[in-house]
Amino acid sequence: MRQLITGFLFALLWASAAAATKFGIRVADPFILANVRFLIAGSGMLAFAYLFRREQSAWPEKTEWKHLLIFGFMNTTIYLGCFVLSMRSVSAGIGSLSTATSPLFIMIISAFWMKRALKWYEITGMVLGLTGVALATWPLLKDSHATVSGILILMFGMVSVSVATVYYARIKWKLSNIVINGWQVLLGGILLLPVTCLFADFRNTRFNIQFWCSVGWLILPVSVIALQLWFYLVKKDAVKASLWMFLCPVFGFFFSWALLNEPITWFTLAGTVLVVGGLYLAQRDKFNPQNQ
């Protein structure tokens, strides 16, 4: 029962990121919202690591700085920067749905990286997943809840985070998870600063209660609590933990409908089913007891 509650809470909080971002960009430029979140979150994690967990928190060595810069650039600057920017022209539900396709991109990129031939069910799962996103998006394009440019920005970010994940898995890290996350988020925010200074709309950005509630929610419930719940689930059973990712699009569309009045249609439901089916098919080896 404890794992069941933990899994539902993780999916609920993780899926809320798109809706929280939507509320934030109503009063602030996307780049400003992203930069404030990255700088505060990164600094906070590093302060906790080096002040309260000093015995477990080493400083990066010379080669590790390079890895952290590359990882932070792809995982934070590009991916999260693109995600926040895309939310200006894409519904929160589609944002959550696209996030769920990350394992598919990781699978494809990892196969090319390791020069491994893709299996038929992996290719089929990828096709089903992308078809599901397209199907769910189609009516929203006509109703101005999504644009082609927004979808392309979102997909570019998904490719970037998938490359970052494969890159991260190939590195033999000596640093603790909180130190890695703290530095990559902070460095990603610093790398985004020039773009924010050059292109962000400071004049129409309001640092009001809505802005800080959005930033606070994205930092604490999403970046801190949800990630800790995820680590708990993975530690207990990595295979079962991945199943909770399938619930994220469902909760994401619920938040977009309940909080943002974004429409849910039969296209939405059919597209979500295709994405979840594609994810399961492409990763079916994980759920085969013989491979565990």
- Taking CA atoms, 102 is separated from 29, 145, 150, 154, in Å, by 26, 22, 17, 11
Q: Model's pTM, two decimal places? A: 0.85
Residue 269's nearest CA partner among 121, 104, 138 is: 138
| pLDDT classification of 292: cutoffs 50, 70, 90 | very low
| pLDDT classification of 136: cutoffs 50, 70, 90 | confident
Mean predicted confidence (pLDDT) in 157-178: 87
Residue appearing with tokens 């609590």: 225
Residue 224's nearest CA partner among 24, 73, 48, 34 is: 48
pLDDT, tens only, 5-33: 888 898 899 889 999 999 999 999 999 99
- How is residue 80 annotated by DSSP? I
3-class DSSP state of 236: helix
> Is it the case that residue 64 has pLDDT exceeding 80?
yes
Mean predicted confidence (pLDDT) in 55-70: 89
> Is it the case that residue 239 has pLDDT exceeding 60?
no
* pLDDT, the chain, mean: 85
Q: What total of structural domains would you count in the chain?
A: 1
Q: 90 pairs with which residues across the strands?
A: 146
What's the domain range around 128?
2-291
Q: Cα separation of 109 and 167, whole Å?
A: 10
> Is it the case that residue 221 has pLDDT exceeding 70?
yes
> Is it the case that residue 215 has pLDDT exceeding 80?
yes
Residue 256's nearest CA partner among 133, 85, 32, 90 is: 90
Query: Which amino acid, 120?
Result: W
- Give the least confident one: 69-73, 81-85, 102-106, 132-136: 102-106
Mean predicted confidence (pLDDT) in 250-257: 86
Q: Which residue has the higher pLDDT, 64 or 277?
A: 64
Q: Cα separation of 252 and 101, whole Å?
A: 13
Residue appearing with tokens 């594609």: 278
Q: Which residue has the higher pLDDT, 34 or 128?
A: 34
Residue appearing with tokens 């970046």: 223
| Res 190: pLDDT | 97
Mean predicted confidence (pLDDT) in 157-165: 89
Mean predicted confidence (pLDDT) in 258-282: 83
**The two structure tokens encoding residue 205:** 């950005």
Question: Residues near 59 by Cβ (< 8 Å), separated by ≥ 6?
Answer: none
- Give the least confident one: 30-44, 61-75, 222-236: 222-236
| Res 191: pLDDT | 97
Q: Cα separation of 71 and 63, whole Å?
A: 13
Q: Cα separation of 152 and 158, whole Å?
A: 10
